[in-house]
């Protein structure tokens, strides 16, 4: 068991190792203290080893460096969403989905998908058709009237359209 003071010092350190289950449980270095804080992560002593665990902040806004809200240099973004983890890390895949959306907007009308009657079901079915094509070995949407883009991009675009319509309708409001 380590002391609270030592644990606090470890949380402030710039480099430590943690167990990363994505890499077969190997110890991995994590050297960016600010990324750890922005993600709401801290070290916790469980009596045997020090592990990286998610710190539950209860939704209160705070500066990840502990700077008071009204002090110069404060930025209350600890625990907030980190869009760059998706936008930056999936840039190529997202670009493919954007290409699919652009082709659709040019074929029909920009944002016209929002007005499609029974859109949720129809986009779910469209995603299913593209997934079926993938299961049969087709990679590109090269059929008659096809977009000439990846079927996976089509699946993702259609699922995003369905999800967006569901969210706008308020289907998940109790959990958002």
Mean pLDDT of the chain: 78
Angle between helices 119-135 and 151-169 (to 10 degrees): 160
Contacts of 51 (CB under 8 A, 6+ apart): 18, 19, 43, 44
CA dihedral 86, 130, 99, 123 (to 10 degrees): -80
Taking residues 76-93, report their average pLDDT: 89
**Confidence at residue 10, expressed as pLDDT on a 0 to 100 scale:** 57
How far apart are alpha carbons 144 and 31 in whole angstroms?
Answer: 52
pTM more than 0.75: no
Task: Map out the domains of the chain as residue ranges.
Answer: 4-80, 86-175
**Confidence at residue 55, expressed as pLDDT on a 0 to 100 scale:** 39
Q: Which residue has the higher pLDDT, 66 or 19?
A: 66
**Confidence at residue 48, expressed as pLDDT on a 0 to 100 scale:** 44
**Confidence at residue 51, expressed as pLDDT on a 0 to 100 scale:** 45
How far apart are alpha carbons 137 and 131 in whole angstroms?
Answer: 10
CA dihedral 84, 90, 93, 98 (to 10 degrees): 0
Residue 58 has pLDDT above 80, yes or no: no
How far apart are alpha carbons 151 and 26 in whole angstroms?
Answer: 35
How far apart are alpha carbons 11 and 26 in whole angstroms?
Answer: 20
User: Does residue 138 contact residue 154 with C-beta atoms inside 8 Å?
Assistant: no
């Amino acid at each position: 068991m380590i002391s609270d003071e030592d644990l606090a010092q470890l949380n402030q350190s710039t480099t430590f190792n943690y167990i990363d289950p994505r890499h077969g449980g190997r110890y991995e270095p994590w050297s960016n203290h600010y990324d750890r804080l922005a993600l709401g992560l801290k070290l916790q002593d469980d009596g045997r080893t020090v592990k990286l665990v998610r710190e539950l902040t209860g939704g209160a806004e705070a500066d990840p460096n502990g700077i008071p809200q009204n002090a110069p240099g404060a930025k209350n973004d600890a625990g907030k969403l980190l869009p760059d983890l998706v936008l930056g890390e999936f840039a190529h895949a997202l670009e493919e989905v954007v290409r699919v959306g652009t082709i659709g907007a040019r074929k029909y009308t920009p944002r016209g998908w929002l007005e499609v009657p029974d859109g949720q079901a129809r986009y779910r079915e469209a995603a299913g058709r593209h997934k079926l094509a993938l299961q049969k070995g087709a990679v590109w949407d090269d059929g008659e009237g096809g977009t000439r883009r990846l079927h996976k991009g089509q699946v993702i675009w259609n699922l995003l359209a369905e999800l967006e319509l569901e969210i706008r309708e308020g289907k998940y409001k109790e959990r958002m």
